[in-house]
Amino acid sequence: MTTLLPFLIRLIGLRDPHAEKHSDHVTEYAFALGRAADLKAEELELLKFAASIHDIGKIAINEFVINKPGRFTEAEYIMVQQHANIGANLVENLDIDPSIHSIILNHHENFDGSGYPNKIKGEEIPVGARIIRIADTYDALTSDRGYRPAYSNKKSLQIMEHDAEFFDPILLDLFFRKVARKH
Ligand SMILES: [Fe+2]
């Protein structure tokens, strides 16, 4: 199963040149948070796999939209949101554990039910997807975007605290204490 990974990651990189670095970071933060949350070794392996290809659905989204330097229009945002369903459908065809499919499908669901694609909430969201939601947000905030430079670590954590309802509170607390950089 893991022999597929480099191929899949390179495929995602074709559409979005920043994706490989982002996938690496998200995988590192997600793995650290999964370990802090006492996930079993097997679950950690699946989490790592899912984290490194969580945005694979973006290969089917228009590349000018994906790489747009400014903010998305509403229509573009709806288009970008499709990447969760598309990614899940794509990996469904691979001979991999079904939990990876479910993590990819749900990696933009919010703990309060305000996320996408299905607006599920709380523990209905698989734990791996709840972990990636946190890791993904932290890396997005601490990275340069087309429309803004990276936020400082301190500012990024303040933003996540402000938006705390999006995240699993126990995992967010663990992330702040054990994973996020201190400065
Ligand atoms: Fe995503």
C-alpha to C-alpha distance for 113 and 167, rounded to whole angstroms: 10
Q: How far is the CA of 89 from the centre of ligand 1 (A)?
A: 14
Q: In the predicted model, is pLDDT for residue 39 greater than 90?
A: yes
User: 2 pLDDT band (50/70/90 cuts)?
Assistant: low
Say which residues have a Cβ less than 8 Å from residue 173's Cβ, sequence separation at least 6.
none
For residue range 103-162, what is the model confidence (pLDDT) as tens digits? 999 999 999 999 999 999 999 999 999 999 999 999 999 998 878 899 999 999 999 999
Q: How far is the CA of 35 from the centre of ligand 1 (A)?
A: 22
For residue range 52-84, what is the model confidence (pLDDT) as tens digits? 999 999 999 998 898 888 889 999 999 999 999
DSSP, collapsed to helix, strand or coil, labels residue 8 as: helix
- Whole-number pLDDT of residue 17: 75
| Region of residue 121 (left: phi > 0; alpha: psi -120 to 50; beta: else) | beta
C-alpha to C-alpha distance for 116 and 82, rounded to whole angstroms: 9
* pTM of the complete model beyond 0.75: yes
Q: In the predicted model, is pLDDT for residue 182 greater than 90?
A: no
Q: How far is the CA of 107 from the centre of ligand 1 (A)?
A: 6
C-alpha to C-alpha distance for 59 and 13, rounded to whole angstroms: 9
- List, in order of start, the domains of the chain with CATH numbers: 2-179 (1.10.3210.10)
SS3 of 27-50: HHHHHHHHHHCCCCHHHHHHHHHH
- Whole-number pLDDT of residue 183: 62
C-alpha distances in Å from residue 149, one per residue of 3, 17, 29, 63, 139: 35, 17, 21, 21, 13
What number is the average pLDDT over the span 34-48?
97
- Whole-number pLDDT of residue 104: 98
Q: How far is the CA of 25 from the centre of ligand 1 (A)?
A: 13
